[in-house]
Amino acid sequence: MRVVICGGGVIGACTAYFLRRRGVDVIVVERTDIAAAASGKAGGFLARDWCAGTPLDALARRSFALHAQLAGEIAGDWGHRPMSAYSGYVAPDGDPRRNTQSALDWLSDGVVIAQRIGTAETTAIVHPRKFTLAMMKAAIADGAELRHDRVIGLVRDADGTRAKGVEIDGGIIEADAVVIAMGPWSLLAAQWTSLPAVYGQRSPSIVYDLGPNAPADALFLESEIDGEAASIEVFPRADGSAHITALSDIAPLPLDPMAVTPDSDAIVRLQAMSERLSPLFRPEMIIAQQACFRPVTEDGLPLIGRIPQSEGLYVATGHNVWGILNAPATGEALAQLIMDGVTRDVNLAPFDPGRLQPLDPSLLRAR
Ligand SMILES: Cc1cc2nc3c(=O)[nH]c(=O)nc-3n(C[C@H](O)[C@H](O)[C@H](O)COP(=O)(O)OP(=O)(O)OC[C@H]3O[C@@H](n4cnc5c(N)ncnc54)[C@H](O)[C@@H]3O)c2cc1C
């Protein structure tokens, strides 16, 4: 059995790892580099039960447990560590609370901590790029193959009902099953098969180097910039890098993942917001100013499972803000579905691609 996985983000890498554990012949086709897109530029924050009461709950809980397990199982250090999480707000100029000392000693006066919303039992973090690379490296060490190429189409059998591989710039790769895991670029696969729409939501981020004593405190803060309210998220990681993001916007998805850039005005505003949070966020400590597109679907839930009316064709995308968290259980469940026809640990029914109308391919302009 040979499976081709289109896309080497966190979803593709985890799927490759779990398929290899089942002894499947795996080829990952990645257009640029492993973790070149959102999977390398995310925060990496993980929460066990923040999806409680939603269809994502079982996937998130299983993934949270797998993240802890994988950290002990696979070679490499991607900084998996439990952490606390807090909500609060940044007191605006002129507000008397502007001079109040923060409850967390690494934060500036006026950063008001309202509530502890995660503990070392319920919240954790990984470095997402290092995690994705480690999963791919483990899959390769176990026999998976990585090809740097661009998937441009599907190969089907004579009557068109079964996927037989993929077309790439460099030729054809034959396979018994194909998994589409190209993040927001999975949209392009709607030209080749009946797939619901997947959109890209852009977010800028700044990464600071805090050195060896980066606090294990994630922050979810309400702030104000130029008279507008904004939510800002701060994720210090075990390797000393701290990822700060806010100010998501709507922007066209570039066809080439390497062409994704942040809006320069958004970066200037995000830097100004960051500098109000802590004296640690000084301009000379900046190590990256970037943006990425997270994949979203019409109902906000991922697409994970078999694509209707196509034998041997699967999709795993649309993980939105929880792709790093939910990648391990997604990969595990897909490997079970492909090999056994059913899943054991997580019920994929809420994520069935058949629940949404397929995108009309004529809406996609010819590339
Ligand atoms: C600012 C920000 C912060 C985030 N923070 C968190 C967080 O703290 N926790 C969390 O759980 N999630 C977080 N996320 C969400 C998470 O990053 C995404 O859900 C996840 O990375 C999506 O992974 P993916 O593998 O589906 O897609 P991607 O990472 O986009 O990977 C898709 C891959 O497919 C490749 N590709 C595209 N087209 C082709 C082609 N034609 N042929 C071959 N390959 C192709 C691309 O090059 C890319 O490498 C965040 C997202 C953003 C934007």
Integer Cα distance of 343 and 267 in angstroms: 42
Instruction: Answer for the pair 274, 280: CB distance below 8 angstroms, yes or no.
Output: no
> Cα(140)–Cα(27) distance, rounded to whole angstroms?
9
Distance CA(13)–CA(146), nearest Å, equals 10
Q: Give the sign of the dihedral formed by CA 286, CA 291, CA 294, CA 299.
A: positive
- Rounded-to-integer distance, Cα 152 and Cα 167, Å: 6
Cα 135 from Cα 327, distance rounded (Å): 10
Q: What is the pLDDT along the chain (367 residues), one digit of tens a residue?
A: 999 999 999 999 999 999 999 999 999 999 999 999 999 999 999 999 999 999 999 999 999 999 999 999 999 999 999 999 999 999 988 888 888 899 999 999 999 999 999 999 999 999 999 999 999 999 999 999 999 999 999 999 999 899 999 999 989 999 999 999 999 999 999 999 889 999 999 999 999 999 988 899 999 999 988 888 899 999 999 999 999 999 888 888 999 999 999 999 999 999 999 999 999 999 999 999 999 999 999 999 999 999 998 899 999 999 999 999 999 999 999 999 999 999 999 999 999 999 999 998 888 754 4
Write the residue with the smallest CA distance to atom 21 of ligand 1: 39
Ligand 1 in reach of 14 Cβ (< 6 A): no
Q: 124: Cβ–Cβ under 8 A, 6 or more apart, which residues?
A: 45, 46, 64, 67, 68, 80, 81, 82, 83
**Smallest Cα–Cα separation from 128: which of 207, 202, 211?**
207
Task: Enter the pTM of the model.
Answer: 0.97
Count Cα neighbours of 259 within 13 Å in the Cβ-side half-sphere: 7
Distance 41 CA to ligand 1 centre (A): 8
Does the beta carbon of 151 sit less than 6 angstroms from any atom of ligand 1? yes
What is the Cα–Cα distance from 200 to 257, expressed in whole angstroms? 11
Compute the distance from residue 217 Cα to the ligand 1 centre, in Å. 24
What SS3 state is found at 344? coil
Sign of the dihedral through C-alpha 89, 92, 96, 98: positive
12 lines ligand 1 (CB under 6 A): yes
Delimiting residues of CATH 3.50.50.60 domain(s) in the chain: 2-75+126-197+298-362
The DSSP result for 47-94, as a single string, is: ESSTTTTSTTHHHHHHHHHHHHHHHHHSSS----EE-EEEEEEEPPTT
For 142-210, the three-class secondary structure string (H helix, E strand, C coil) is CCCEEEECCEEEEEECCCCCEEEEEEECCEEEECCEEEECCHHHHHHHHHCCCCECEEEEEEEEEEEEC
The pLDDT, as a whole number, for residue 365 is 59
| Rounded Cα–Cα distance for residues 231 and 182 (Å) | 28
Whether the CB-CB separation of 195 and 307 falls below 8 Å is answered with yes
What angle in degrees, to the nearest 10, is found between the helix axes of 323-340 and 57-73? 90
Res 367: pLDDT: 44
Neighbours of 295 (CB within 10 A): 27
Ranges in the chain annotated CATH 3.30.9.10: 84-119+200-296
Tell me which CATH code domain 2-75+126-197+298-362 carries.
Answer: 3.50.50.60
Closest ligand 1 atom to 326 CA: 11
What SS3 state is found at 26? strand
Query: What residues have CB less than 8 Å from 302, skipping those under 6 apart?
Result: 316, 317, 318, 319, 320, 326, 330, 351
218 close to ligand 1 (CB < 6 Angstrom): no
Residue with tokens 């500098």: 275
Return the residue matching tokens 């075990």.
238
CA angle 67, 71, 72 (to 5 degrees): 125
Give me the pLDDT at residue 250, please.
85
CB distance 331 to ligand 1 below 6 Å: no
- Distance, CA of 323 to chain centre: 3
Q: Hey, what are 11's tokens? A: 């979803």
Mutate to test the pocket of ligand 1, among 4, 14, 17, 31 (most ligand atoms within 8 A of CB): 31
Domain at 84-119+200-296, CATH class: alpha beta
Residue 224 three-state SS: strand
281 CB within 6 A, ligand 1: no
